[in-house]
Chains A and B, each alone.
Chain A
């Protein structure tokens, strides 16, 4: 189940189950979204991205869903494995006037714990 502690919320799942990690973003003008995975002692690593003109995108074992109406993102991981144990962050971004990359703001993160 999911719990919120003093630090990051934690989601515990059994190996082989599907995981769903949720994220609420803040800026209705954000038009590009990214999910990152961060393992202990490492920098965040890209998992999958989605543009605001899409509501779903699939990768290998991962799917991202975007609901702009309620400013919500979710990351679905199929057949979760012990190697998926990490902290997952969503990030939102906008384009600057003129087309350059804008700021990249991260959500609070969720710790995924996979039980063998």
Chain B
């Protein structure tokens, strides 16, 4: 399809394990965003990539969180040594270049840390 794709859709992991969440943005979109959404809460900004610029990592909650975007396309969000408070839905969005365009979201990855 032509939308933003995230995988896996659900992930259950044991406390202390590392996890990788994947986002395939819409082809050609230069901006890519990661957000975290806890149950019944709003969207917490984590990190955003814009073209070849250095990513804005100001929203990452700790150094256990990191993200990469390879070749200006696919992005991976990695959480090391997962904790129970990391349980949430992780949403990815992408935006086209140019002025004033909306972001398109994937369906999210629901992460449960047990």
Name A's B-contacting residues (CB within 8 A): 7-8, 32, 34, 36, 42-46, 49, 51, 89, 91, 93, 95-96, 99-109
Contact = CB atoms under 8 A, between A and B. Distances in A.
Contacts of B97: 100-101
Interface residues of B, number: 30
Main secondary structure, interface of A, reads: strand
B103 interface: yes
Contacts of A34: 102-103
Contacts, number: 72
A95 B99 contact: yes
A109 B102 CA distance: 17
15 contacts: A43-B91, A43-B107, A44-B91, A46-B102, A49-B100, A49-B102, A51-B100, A93-B100, A95-B99, A99-B99, A101-B30, A103-B48, A103-B56, A104-B33, A106-B42
